[in-house]
Structure 1
Amino acid sequence: MKKKLLKNAKIVDDKGIRKSDLIIEGEKIAGEEKRGFFAAKEDQAGLEVIDLAGKYLFPGLVDANTNCFFSSDSNSVKENFYQTSLEAAAGGITTIIDYIDFPENNNFREAVFKQKEKAKASIVDYSFHQILTDFNSNISESLVDLKDLGIASVKLFTTYQKEGYMLSQKQRKELFQSLNETKILAQVHAEDNDLIQDLKEIYSKRNLTELRFTTAIRPGISEALAIKKLGNEALEADIPLYIVHLSAAESLEAVRNLRAKKAQIYIETNPHYLMLDDSYLNSSQALLYLMIPPLKTRYNNQLLWQGVSQNEFQVLASNHFNFKAEKIADSGFNFENLIGIPGTETILSLLYSSGVRNNRITIRELIEMLAVNPAKIFGLYPEKGSLEIGTDADLTVFDPNLEKRLKAANLYSTSKKSPYHDFTVKGCPIMTFRRGKLIFEQKLKAAKGSGKFIFAHSSSLF
Structure 2
Amino acid sequence: MTILIKNGTIITAIDSYQADLLIENQKIAMVGTNIKYDPDQIINAEGKYILPGALDAHVHLEMPFGGTISADSYEAGTRAAACGGVTTVFDFVMQNKGQGLMEAIKGREELCAPQACVDYGFHVAITDLSDDVIRELEDAVEYGVPSFKTFMAYKKSGLMVDDGVLAYLLEKSKDIGALISVHAENADITERRVEKYLSEGKTSAWYHYKSRPEFVEAEADKRIIHLAKSLDAPVYIVHLANKEGMEEVTKARDEGYEIYAETCPHYLHFTNEVYKRDDGRNYVCSPPIKGKESQDSLWEGIKKGDISVIATDHCPFQSGEKDWGIDDFSKIPNGCMGVENLYPYMLSEANQGRISFNKVVELCSTNPAQIFGCADRKGTIVPNIDADLVIYDPQKKFTITQEKMHSDIDHTIWEGVELDGYPIMTLSRGRVVYQDGEFLGEAGWGNFVKRSLKR
Using structure 1 for the length normalisation, give the TM-score: 0.94
CA distance in 1, matches of 2:53, 2:286: 28
2:191 is paired with a residue of what secondary structure? helix
Q: Provide the residue aligned with 1:264 in structure 2.
A: 258
Q: Which amino acid aligns with 1:98?
A: D
Q: Provide the residue aligned with 2:45 in structure 1.
A: 52
CA distance in 1, matches of 2:52, 2:42: 19
Alignment of 1:391-406 (within 5 A): 391-406=385-400
Q: Provide the residue aligned with 2:320 in structure 1.
A: 326
CA distance in 1, matches of 2:201, 2:374: 48
Q: Provide the residue aligned with 1:350 in structure 2.
A: 345
Aligned residue pair count? 452
Structure 1: state its 5+ residue gaps.
none
Indicate the larger mover: 7-16 or 291-300. Answer: 291-300
1:402 is paired with a residue of what secondary structure? strand
Asked whether 1:227 is paired with 2:221, we answer yes
Alignment of 1:213-362 (within 5 A): 213-330=207-324, 333-335=328-330, 338-353=333-348, 355-362=349-356
1:69 is paired with a residue of what secondary structure? coil
2:144 is paired with a residue of what secondary structure? coil
Quote how far apart the aligned CAs of 1:105 are. Answer: 3.5
1:156 is paired with a residue of what secondary structure? strand
Q: Provide the residue aligned with 1:114 in structure 2.
A: 107
Q: Provide the residue aligned with 1:196 in structure 2.
A: 190
Q: Provide the residue aligned with 1:146 in structure 2.
A: 140
- Determine which of 65, 69, 77 is the counterpart of 1:76: 69
- Determine which of 451, 454, 458 is the counterpart of 2:453: 458
1:335 is paired with a residue of what secondary structure? helix
Asked whether 1:411 is paired with 2:411, we answer no
Quote how far apart the aligned CAs of 1:167 are. Answer: 0.6
Quote how far apart the aligned CAs of 1:344 are. Answer: 0.7
Asked whether 1:22 is paired with 2:14, we answer no
Q: Which amino acid aligns with 1:385?
A: G
Alignment of 1:176-191 (within 5 A): 176-191=170-185
CA distance in 2, matches of 1:326, 1:338: 10
- Determine which of 412, 419, 422 is the counterpart of 1:425: 419
The answer (yes or no) to whether the contact 1:309–1:360 under 8 Å persists in 2 is no
Aligned-residue Cα RMSD (Å) equals 1.7
Cα 1:213–1:73 change in 2 (3 A) is closer
Quote how far apart the aligned CAs of 1:402 are. Answer: 0.8
Give CA deviations for 1:114-158 in whole Å, capped at 9, x if unaligned: 111111211100000001012243321110111121102000000
CA distance in 2, matches of 1:142, 1:450: 29
Q: Provide the residue aligned with 1:4 in structure 2.
A: 3
The answer (yes or no) to whether the contact 1:382–1:388 under 8 Å persists in 2 is no
Structure 2: state its 5+ residue gaps.
none
Give CA deviations for 1:282-317 in whole Å, capped at 9, x if unaligned: 111112211111111233212221221222111011
The answer (yes or no) to whether the contact 2:253–2:306 under 8 Å persists in 1 is no
Q: Which amino acid aligns with 2:41?
A: E
The answer (yes or no) to whether the contact 1:155–1:186 under 8 Å persists in 2 is yes
Q: Provide the residue aligned with 1:158 in structure 2.
A: 152
Quote how far apart the aligned CAs of 1:73 are. Answer: 5.6
CA distance in 2, matches of 1:200, 1:65: 26
Q: Provide the residue aligned with 1:65 in structure 2.
A: 58
Quote how far apart the aligned CAs of 1:243 are. Answer: 0.5
CA distance in 2, matches of 1:388, 1:225: 42
Using structure 2 for the length normalisation, give the TM-score: 0.95
Q: Which amino acid aligns with 1:16?
A: D
CA distance in 2, matches of 1:408, 1:378: 31
1:239 is paired with a residue of what secondary structure? coil
Q: Which amino acid aligns with 1:208?
A: K
1:208 is paired with a residue of what secondary structure? coil
Q: Provide the residue aligned with 1:443 in structure 2.
A: 438
The answer (yes or no) to whether the contact 2:11–2:51 under 8 Å persists in 1 is yes
Quote how far apart the aligned CAs of 1:69 are. Answer: 2.0
The answer (yes or no) to whether the contact 2:8–2:49 under 8 Å persists in 1 is yes
The answer (yes or no) to whether the contact 1:14–1:372 under 8 Å persists in 2 is yes
CA distance in 2, matches of 1:435, 1:413: 21
CA distance in 2, matches of 1:358, 1:443: 26
Q: Provide the residue aligned with 1:104 in structure 2.
A: 97
The answer (yes or no) to whether the contact 1:74–1:337 under 8 Å persists in 2 is no
2:330 is paired with a residue of what secondary structure? coil
2:382 is paired with a residue of what secondary structure? coil
Cα 1:212–1:81 change in 2 (3 A) is same
Give CA deviations for 1:169-188 in whole Å, capped at 9, x if unaligned: 11212222221211210001
Give CA deviations for 1:224-259 in whole Å, capped at 9, x if unaligned: 110111111111222110001001112101212333
CA distance in 2, matches of 1:28, 1:134: 40
The answer (yes or no) to whether the contact 1:292–1:338 under 8 Å persists in 2 is no
Q: Which amino acid aligns with 1:372?
A: T
The answer (yes or no) to whether the contact 2:72–2:407 under 8 Å persists in 1 is no
- Name the % identity: 28
